[in-house]
Amino acid sequence: MHRLLSAVTVRAATPGGQAWGCGRRRAHQRAGLLPLGHGWVGGLGLGLGLALGVKLAGGLRGATPAQPPAAADPEASPQAEPQEQSLAPWSPQSPAPPPSRCFARAIESSRDLLHRIKDEVGAPGIVVGVSVDGKEVWSEGLGYADVENRVPCKPETVMRIASISKSLTMVALAKLWEAGKLDLDIPVQHYVPEFPEKEYEGEKVSVTTRLLISHLSGIRHYEKDMKKVKEEKAYKALKMMKGMVASDQEKEGKSNEKNDFAKAKTEQDNEAKCRNSKPGKKKNDFEQGELYLKEKFENSIESLRLFKNDPLFFKPGSQFLYSTFGYTLLAAIVERASGYKYLDYMQKIFHDLDMLTTVQEENEPVIYNRARFYVYNKKRRLVNTPYVDNSYKWAGGGFLSTVGDLLKFGNAMLYGYQVGLFKDSNENLLPGYLKPETMVMIWTPVPNTEMSWDKEGKYAMAWGVVEKKQTYGSCRKQRHYVSHTGGAVGASSVLLVLPEELDTEAVNNKVPPRGVIVSIICNMQSVGLNSTALKIALEFDKDRSD
C-alpha cells in the first residue's frame, strides 16, 4: 500500500502530471471558473491514491490467497496503440498512415532509399506513392514543399510532373483513334494545315501523328543547332558500335594471330574516329533559353510559331530525336480531331480517370498544396527557380499533379492492358478506359527508338518499355515494365508500372489490375528517379509474392 500511494503521489508531481494539470487549468479558465493552483494537483493525486488504496484493501479482504503479480517497472510506459510521431523541425516528414503489415518491410526499406537519394542530390522535398493490385498501400512526403515557410511535403503535395504529361496526352490521342476521329498514319497537315509541309535534303517528306508520338518525326527539341545534335548522335552511335564489336570479340574467344592483328587495327581505327568525331560541348536542356519562356500562348496553334518553320533534323522515321515540341503539334492535332480546346478535352479525361488534382500549370490560379520549385546556383546555394510559363508545351510537359493521381492513371492503363486476359474467367469485368489492343499497341517498343532513362529499353508510344529478358541461367532476370520520367525547371518525376507476370492459369480468382505502380515527384531538377522507382517496385513485388 505504501508503495502504491508513493507511486501515485510521485506521478502527480512529475512534469507529465504538471503538464496535464496545466491543460486542465487552462480549460478551467476558459470556462470562466476560478483558476486552480498547483496545490490542487497534488491534493487530487493524494486523494485518488487514498481512494484507490481503500478499494484495493476492501477487495483483498474477501479474496482467496494468490501469488502476487510481478512488480511493474515504474519507468515503463503503458502499452497503447502506436501514435503518429511529431515532426522534428530538422527532418520534416508527413505523418504516414499505419502501413499494411504485409508491406511493412518494403515500406521501411523504400523510405530509407528515398532518404538516401534525397540527401545525395540535396532535394528540398520528395513525395512517393505506391499501389499494389490497384490499391494504394503507401504514400508519404519527405522534406519540404516550401523551404521558406517550412511547409512539409505530404501525399497531397502538388508538383510539376514534366514529361509524364506526354503519357497523359497519349490517352487523348488513343481515345480519338479508337473513336475513328484520328488517323495516326496520314500527314499532320490533314488536321493542322498551319504546320508547313517539310523537305529533308531536297526530298519531300511526311510527318505523321504516329511518328510524332514516338519522337521519330525529326522535329527539333530545345537545341536549335542541327550540327551539334548530329555530331552527338554520330558520336553515340560510334561508341555503341565499338561496344558491340568488343562484345562480339569476347564471345568469339581467341583467334589466330592474323585475325587478332586485324581486330586490333580495327579497334585502333575506331578509337581514332571516336576521338576525332567527339562533338563540342553541347548545352543541356536546362541551359536552353526556350525552357524558360515567360510568354503566354492562348492555344496550341499559336505555340507552333516557335518551331514550325525550322528544318527537320533527320528524315522522319529514320532516327530517334526526343522532342517536346513534337507534342505541342500533337496538342493541335487533338484540338482539330476532337473539336475541343486541348485543355478542355484533357480535363474531361482527368474527370473520367478521377484525377481531380491534375491541372495545367498556370501562375494566376490558387492551387491548393502547390509546392515551390528549387535549383542550386553556381555557388551551390539553394534558390527559387525563375518564373516560367508552360503554355507552349501543355501536352509535352505542362501539367501539375500528385502521386495519388498518377497512381490512378497508372492503374487505369494497367487495367486496360490486362483486362482482356481476364474476360474468359470473369465476364462481369468492366471495360478498360482504353481497349486492350490499344494498350498493347501503346506499350509495344518501336524500332529505331531509345529510352534515355534505361538503356535496356525502347521508346514506345509516350512510354518507355523494358521487355522481359534473361540471358544466362541463374543470373540476372530483367522484368517487363513501362515508365516515363520527367524533368522540368525545378522538378523531377517518374511514373513506373511493373505488371504481374500472368499466364492463363494465373488469372483464376483474380481481377485486374495486377502489378505494382510507383510514382515519385520532387521539387528539384535533374534528379534521376527511374532506377529508384524500379527498386521500390521490386521491393513491394517481393513482399506481395511472399
Amino acid in position 411: N
> How large is the average pLDDT for residues 357-382?
96
- Answer whether residue 264 shows pLDDT above 50: no
Q: What is the DSSP string of 182-229?
A: --TTSBGGGT-TTSPPEEETTEEE--BHHHHHTT-S----S---HHHH
Query: Would you give the DSSP letter of residue 492?
Result: E
What is the sign of the dihedral through the CA atoms of 495, 501, 505 and 509? negative
- Answer whether residue 409 shows pLDDT above 70: yes
Residues designated as active site: 163
> 99 in helix, strand or coil?
coil
pLDDT at 8: 41
> How large is the average pLDDT for residues 79-105?
55
pLDDT at 180: 98
Q: Which whole-number Å values give the CA distances from 93 to 85, 137, 460, in the listed order?
A: 10, 17, 36
Q: Which whole-number Å values give the CA distances from 91 to 151, 152, 153, 395, in the listed order?
A: 12, 9, 11, 36
What's the pTM value of the predicted model, to 2 decimals? Answer: 0.76
Strand-pairing partners, residue 316, are none
Residue 151 host element (H or E): strand 151-152
Strand-pairing partners, residue 360, are 399
- Answer whether residue 113 shows pLDDT above 50: yes
For 495-540, the pLDDT digits (tens) are 999 999 987 777 878 899 999 999 999 999 999 999 999 999 999 9
- Answer whether residue 303 shows pLDDT above 90: yes
Over the chain, what is the mean pLDDT?
A: 82
- Answer whether residue 191 shows pLDDT above 70: yes
For 304-314, the pLDDT digits (tens) are 999 999 999 99
- Answer whether residue 44 shows pLDDT above 70: no
pLDDT at 48: 46
What is the sign of the dihedral through the CA atoms of 390, 391, 397 and 399? positive
For 138-157, the pLDDT digits (tens) are 999 999 999 999 999 999 99
